[in-house]
Amino acid sequence: MNINRRRCSMVWWKIVELLYLDNGAPNVLEEGLRMEVGDGHLITFWDEVWLGDLVLKESFPRLHALAVNKKGKQWENLMKMLEGVTLSKEYKDKLIWKHNTSG
């Protein structure tokens, strides 16, 4: 990133240093930031920290390797698929017959 230091205030220059300069030290500001999911338009599914402490491609490398669209924003498809899913600690997982509505 090409930044003119004379145009930045001291505070902003320190912020820029924290964000963009690699001095080998952990980047506290960058490590402290994460995306909060809203409408999902700004978040890339695999490459942003939005669930847990790692990007999903690091948490689930096998799934990432199988993904067709690695840079996509697959929120709408994911939300449609999860609409009918309800998690409950009261019930154990069970095998059901999918061709009958009562299971």
Residue 63 contacts residue 55 (beta carbons within 8 Å): no
**How many other C-beta atoms are found inside a 10 Å radius of the C-beta of residue 3?**
13
Q: What pLDDT, on a 0 to 100 scale, did the predictor assign at position 14?
A: 74
**Segment of 15-19, 21-25, 44-48 carrying the highest mean pLDDT:** 44-48
Gap between the Cα atoms of 48 and 57, Å rounded: 9
> Is the model's pLDDT at 62 over the cut of 90?
yes
Gap between the Cα atoms of 86 and 24, Å rounded: 44
Gap between the Cα atoms of 65 and 46, Å rounded: 11
Q: What pLDDT, on a 0 to 100 scale, did the predictor assign at position 53?
A: 83
